[in-house]
Amino acid sequence: MSHFTDLRDYIDALDALGDIRRVDRPVSADLEAAAITRRSYEIRSPAPLFTRIAEDRIGMRMFGAPAGVSSRPDMRLARLALSVGLPAETGAAQLVDHLVRTRDAPPVPPRTVAREGAPCKENVLLGDDATLDRFAVPRIHEKDGGSYLNTWGVIIARTPDGAWVNWSISRIMMLDGKRMTGLVMPPQHLGLVWQAWAERGEPMPYALVQGGAPAIPFVGGIPLPRGVDEAGYIGALHGEPVDVVRCETVDLEVPAHAEVVIEGHVSTGRDSLEGPFGEYAGYVSTQSSFQPVYTVEAITHRSEPIWPIVPEGRPADEYHTVTGTGRAANVLHALRRAGLPVTTAWMPFPAAMHWTVVTVPDDWRSKLPGVDTGEFTRRIGEVIHNSGGPSAMMPVTYVLDDDIDPSDEADLLWALGTRLHPRDRRYSWDAVVLPFMACYGEDERKAMRGPSVVHDGLLPAWGDGRLRHSSFAQAYPSDIRHQVLKHWDD
């Protein structure tokens, strides 16, 4: 297994697969780059690399859809797999298993390197020179509240006692050259760290990182348990430490191969209006709220830096591919720790993180003697409901046999259409609801409470009315299948 420590090497690897589209004409950071990226998601074209930004003055570039669905139909998850050190042809179940295994592996803490060897220190801007006005900050959607400079960058923050260093993704909007604002909401981890500083009456030191190893925003975008350092998880994922370097003005360390690092402090109060911003459910938001203000006190960057952008919207973009896969890994981890026989868990990209699918092996009855499909489904629902955090934020979960691949959309729809009773075999819990979940009513989203439903779609046991597939693989004997395949190209 190999991995990338640098965004540029990762882009080269995608280019070798034919999954990069270089856009060499001048493109505006004001909506145009985001619009091209959004269309690339929707038609599954290669990831756009913008080499000439119309408003640019320093040679910066932009990179869209860094972890979207690949344009290669034979390796749809190539960008995700390569991001975490797996082969480009890796499938969904193998990807989720890799994330689950890493959860149980000992963390590998980061390694501090000298600033002289850190690419992110090629250009150091302090004082009045440290201004966002030097960059072509992208505007993502027409109805957004402003230009959003952070859609795929990681915010690094440490609790006041130093016990927990959190690397996470949260949207950030530019106010002016020296100020930004963005969502800082408990129970999300960034919100918890900020709250600890605010309760002390002290501004929170932060560093905002664009670029670096592709695993950094990937892991920053998946839900790890509270108190777990993402840097140690990435080290375990890579099998070696992440190289980090000390910041210029705050007591934090950042990935040495980052493209851009912005440093400063976050206010203790909610001082600025933020939003609206188009979110992952795929609808244009009209909501804004008061959020803390980030001050910009230092900026370091590589020469000709590459700025990644993610224009959220209808599936599938990074908040479905990455965050959804991370949540599926959390579900699978919790179910296996509970001793339940499950094959995999998956959040189908088109459902915009509103559906979860759990598949179980054909022999599950031998491992749970005397348990019927309803009781098995109820146990799965109880584990998900009681696992806490993002794993509990599942509006709908389907439990199916593993004769189907939940990442294959045609396979999944066939199973849902033919194995779910129109009314019965479902279980419901009162659960945590995120305000972005479009399937709930306005009152439920405001209260952040609503129903979580688990559907029993399991087939009967063999001999109890279970039907075989009328498919090529099951409706014909092996000698006929072999003969057909042997002469297929004829």
pLDDT tens digits for 403-427? 999 999 999 999 999 999 999 999 9
pLDDT attached to residue 445: 87
Mean pLDDT over 275-283 rounds to 84
pLDDT attached to residue 249: 98
Closest alpha carbon to 29 in 130, 131, 147, 145: 147
DSSP-assigned states of every residue in 39-99: HHHHHTPPEEEE--BTT-SS--EEEE-TTS--S-TT-TTHHHHHHTT--TT--HHHHHHHH
Rounded to whole angstroms, the Cα distance separating 286 from 291 reads 16
The mean of the pLDDT values for the chain is: 95
pTM equals 0.94
Residue appearing with tokens 């030191």: 205
Mean pLDDT over 314-339 rounds to 95
Structural tokens at position 188: 């999300």
- Does the pLDDT at position 391 exceed 60? no
Residue type, 176: D
Mean pLDDT over 234-259 rounds to 97
Alpha-carbon 473 to chain mean position: 34
- Does the pLDDT at position 465 exceed 90? no
Mention every residue, 6+ apart, whose C-beta is less than 8 A from residue 195: 186
Residue appearing with tokens 């088109």: 350
- Does the pLDDT at position 223 exceed 90? no
Per-residue confidence band for 257, with pLDDT thresholds at 50, 70 and 90:
very high
Active-site residue numbers?
Answer: 279
Backbone angles phi, psi at 413, to 5 degrees: -65, -40
Per-residue confidence band for 468, with pLDDT thresholds at 50, 70 and 90:
confident
pLDDT-above-90 percentage for the chain = 89
pLDDT attached to residue 64: 98
- Does the pLDDT at position 281 exceed 80? no
Q: Which domains are present in the chain? A: 105-304 (2.30.110), 318-456 (3.40.1670.10)
Instruction: Identify whether the C-beta of residue 202 lies closer than 8 Å to the C-beta of residue 268.
Output: yes
